[in-house]
Amino acid sequence: MPVIAVDKPLNLTSHDVVGRARRALATKRVGHTGTLDPLATGVLVLCVNDSTKVVQFMDADSKDYLAWVSLGAGTRTLDAEGPIDDTADVPPLTEDGVRAILTDFVGPLAQVPPQYSAIQVGGVRAYAVARAGGTLDLPARNVVIHSLELLGIYESMEAAPHSFSPISQGWAPDAQGKTFPFPTPLGEFPTLLLRARVGSGTYLRSLARDVGAALGAPAHLSGLVRTRVGRYDLSAAADLEHLAEAKSIPDLDALDFPRLEADERLARELRQGKRPQHTAQGRQVVTLNGELVAVVDGDGAELKVVRAWA
């Protein structure tokens, strides 16, 4: 059972999901790509047994989210875990005005991670310092936001849509669609509903904080659903309670890179760790008779093995 996309429940950590998967699948070899916070739900990709080899290649996959950003109240965690530690009146909002602000966040940008995060500084986790009441000087990280759409402005988190269905552009509000669970709102605050596609390492909690600041008010992430990771959409994600019967995906199909079909000689040299001459450029998945041989990086002159399969 190689790669499985799971719909992570509310109030479980990604590590909790891995623990349950280990028990359900009777194996200790389970990894995941792209951590989800406990208050977030949606797609978490699990790699089982030998498929843990592909984790390193899936961390960089782009991800789609539905994000609810509540304005007028900030929290240290930047989400609905709270408590509220900053409040202010929210300036008048219009859809055109908010969309104009959101365009400033699309593309490459430097983003300061949340204090409540697993980032290490000097061997110390930021969240450990934050829980003790301190802060760390977290340097901004380069991230990419591919798209950021406003789906609506609502009087409160409770007034915003909670049910959605997949469409060609992503997931959209649909009263007859899938209803998502959310943490208890921290109060009645004006709430933006956003649809985002982001690159690896992007914190939606930091994005909520920064969008609020750009609009002139403190803000927190009051709800988050990850609807896609790479080629894995939430519509095909397995329920955690039925993981043993979940449909799995072969390693080869899990790797979202161009494919290069090898002959016997090329496959043998790659498996031996050699650097055979080849004109391919960029990251490639090498196959032999449809079977996975290696992931390589090509520079137009030779291939360098990143990982090989026997």
Segment 115-137 shows an average pLDDT of: 81
pTM, rounded to two decimals: 0.89
Whether 35 shows a pLDDT value over 90: the answer reads no
Rounded to the nearest integer, the mean pLDDT of the chain is 93
Percent of the chain with pLDDT over 90: 75
User: Is the pLDDT confidence value at 166 over 90?
Assistant: yes
Q: What is the share, in percent, of the chain residues with pLDDT greater than 70?
A: 99
Residue 221, pLDDT > 60, answer: yes
User: Where does the pLDDT of residue 1 fall: very low under 50, low under 70, confident under 90, or very high at 90 and above?
Assistant: low
pLDDT at 45: 92
- Of 7, 37, 61, 251, which is the active-site residue? 37
Digit-coded pLDDT (tens) for 68-79: 999 999 999 999
Q: What is the pLDDT of residue 150?
A: 98
Q: Is pLDDT of 60 > 80?
A: no
What local confidence, expressed as pLDDT, does residue 127 receive? 79
Phi-psi region of 284 (alpha: psi -120 to 50; beta: other; left: phi over 0): beta
- 180 pLDDT tier (thresholds 50, 70, 90): very high
Question: Average pLDDT of 43-61?
Answer: 85
Q: Residue 275: what pLDDT?
A: 96
272-289 average pLDDT score: 95
Q: Using pLDDT thresholds of 50, 70 and 90, give the confidence band for residue 173.
A: very high
Average pLDDT over residues 143-160: 98
Q: Check whether 57 has a pLDDT greater than 90.
A: no
User: Where is pLDDT greater, at 56 or 194?
Assistant: 194
- Taking 90 as the threshold, does the pLDDT of residue 66 lie above it? yes
37 catalytic residue (yes or no): yes
* pLDDT reading at 250 higher than 90: no
